Amino acid sequence: MDSQPFDESIRGALPRDFIWGFATAAAQVEGAWDKDGKGVSIWDTFAHTPGKVKDGSTGDDAVKSYDLYKTDVEWLRKYKVTGYRFSLSWSRIIPMGGKDDPKIVMGGMLNKDAYTPDFVRYARVCFERFGDRVKNWITYNESGVYSLAGYAAGVHAPGRSSFRDRNEEGDSSTEPFIVSHTELVSHAYVADMYKREFKPKQKGSIMITLHGNWSEPWDVDDPLDQEAAERAREFEIAWFGDPLYKTGDYPESMRAQLGDRLPRFTPEESKLVLGSSEFYGMNSYSAFYVRHRDGPPDINDHLGNVEKLDENKKGEWRGPMSDTYWLRTTPWGWAKLLRWIWNRYGVPIYVTENGTTAQGEHDWKPNGPDDVLEDPFRVDFYKSYLTEVAKASQEGIVIKSYFGWTFTDNWEWAAGFSDRFGATWIDFESEDKTRQTAASRDMRMSTMIFDGIGFLSYWPIGETHDIRVNAILFVAPADEACPKDIPDL
C-alpha cells in the first residue's frame, strides 16, 4: 500500500467519545421492496420507470440487507466501528403513508400544510416504538439534495422539473425552494415535539443533516469570484444552515436573487426552526472552483449565478479523480469547510457522510472468501480527510463523529449499481449479494488511520464494545409513500 505516514503532530487529537463508523440508507441497501407489507415509495415507482436509472436497475433487492441484517451487524463488529448510521423506511413502517395519503395526492412536500402533520405522526410512531434504544435522531438526510435532484433537475424521484424532455411536470424555478421550506418546517415541528414529549425521558438528541461542498474562488484575487464563492456557499449550505442555526431566515443573497420565489417563514415557524437542530450534521464529499457569471441569473438557477469548475485560473485541478464524474479528492476544501461551518454557526459538528468511489473496482473479482480488495485510493481518501478532522479538532472545533459513506456497495439512486462507494465490496451478480472486505476496512487501515490519530489507544483493535445507534428518522428521497392508485409495477 502506497499510503504516506500520518503527521505525528495530530496523534491523540480526537476525543475519547468520538464516534466513527459507516452510514447507509434503507432504500439503498434493504431490498425487499414489497415484502412483509411494505408500501410503495416514490423511489420504487421512479426506478420502475424505464430510463430513470443509469444502468436500468432498481432497488427491489438492493444488497439484501433486510434479510441479511444479522450478517451486516457481524461485519460491523468485525470492523470495530463505534457507530452505525442507518435509516428507517416510512413506507415500511406506515405502508400507506397518511390516513388519506395526502403527501402525493395533495401535492406531497409541495403542500406544507398537508404534509407536515403526516410527518409529525410518523415521527411520533418512531419515537414511541424505538426511542428507548435510539438516542441520536436525524429527521432528514442531506437537505437540499432531494429538492434539487427531484424538483430542479428532475433526475431523482419524484422526477419533476421545467425540462420537458425529461419530466412531464414541474417548475424548477419555484418547486425546489417550496419543498425545502416544507422540509425545514416539518423538521422543526418534529424536533419541537421530541424535545417536549420524549427527550426528558429518553435522553436523546435530534438534528438534521445538510449537504454541502466547499466553493473556492476560481481567481482568488478577483473580488467578484470571492463574492461568487461565498454566495455559492450560502445557496448550497446557508440555505438551510442560517434558518436552523443563525437567523431563523434565509440568507439575504438568496432573497436578493430569488425574491418572492423563496418562501417566507411565519413568525411561529421561524422561532421553531431556529435552534431546532441540536448539532450540525455534515454530509460533504468534495470541493469546486467557482467563477462569477456576468449578467442576470437564469430563472432556473439554484447555484447563486455562478459557474462550478474543475480547475482554477492557474490550471490547477481540484484533486485526483474518483470513479464518479463529480467527485475528486479535495481534503484542502474539506479543511476550509469545517472551519467555515464552525465560524458561522458555532455548534458541534457530526460528520455524517463522507467517502469516495475508486476507479477499476467494477472489474475486480475475488479469488476466494478471504480475498481482500486493495483500494489504496479509498484508503488515502479516508486518511487525508480524517487528518483534517484531527487538525480541526486540535484547533478547538468540536467534531463529534465521522461516518464513512458507505458500509457496503449499494444501490446509488439514479446511478444504480454503477457507483461503488462501499468499504465492503458487493458481488451484485450473486444471488446472495456476497460481501468482501476492501483494504480500506481491513484491520491494517484501522490501525494506520485511527491509531495514527490516537483513537485506537481508546478502543484497542481486539476489544469488543457496543455499537451506538444513530438512526435517520426519514430519508426524504426514498420513503415518501405513494398514493393508493399506484400503477402496476
Residue numbers annotated as active site:
142, 353
Residue 308: DSSP 8-state: E
Element (H, E) at 379: helix 376-394
What nine digits make up the cell of 282?
A: 455534515
* Residue owning grid cell 422539473: 161
Cα(179)–Cα(174) distance, integer angstroms: 9
**Cβ–Cβ < 8 Å for 361, 412:** no
Give how far Cα 220 sits from Cα of 174, 217, 291, 319, 424, Å. 32, 5, 10, 17, 39
DSSP state for residue 437 in the 8-state scheme: E
What CA dihedral angle connects 385, 146, 266 and 110, to 10 degrees? 180
Burial classification of residue 166, based on how many CB atoms lie within 10 Å of its CB (0-12 exposed, 13-18 middle, 19 or more buried): middle
Which ranges of 98-221 would DSSP assign to H, the alpha helix?
102-105, 112-130, 145-147, 175-193, 199-202
SS3 state at 209: strand
* C-alpha cell of residue 243: 434558518
The per-residue DSSP string of 240-281 comes to HHIIIIISSS--HHHHHHHGGGS----HHHHHHHTT--SSEE
Query: 143 pairs with which residues across the strands?
Result: 210
DSSP state of 12: T
Place of cell 472551519: 339
- Parallel, antiparallel, or unpaired: how do β-strands 424-426 and 435-437 relate? antiparallel
As a whole number of angstroms, the distance between CA 446 and CA 236 comes to 33
Return the C-alpha torsion angle 25, 27, 30, 35, nearest 10. 150
Distance CA 416, CA 200 (A): 42
Alpha-carbon dihedral angle through residues 352, 358, 364, 370, given to the nearest 10 degrees: -40
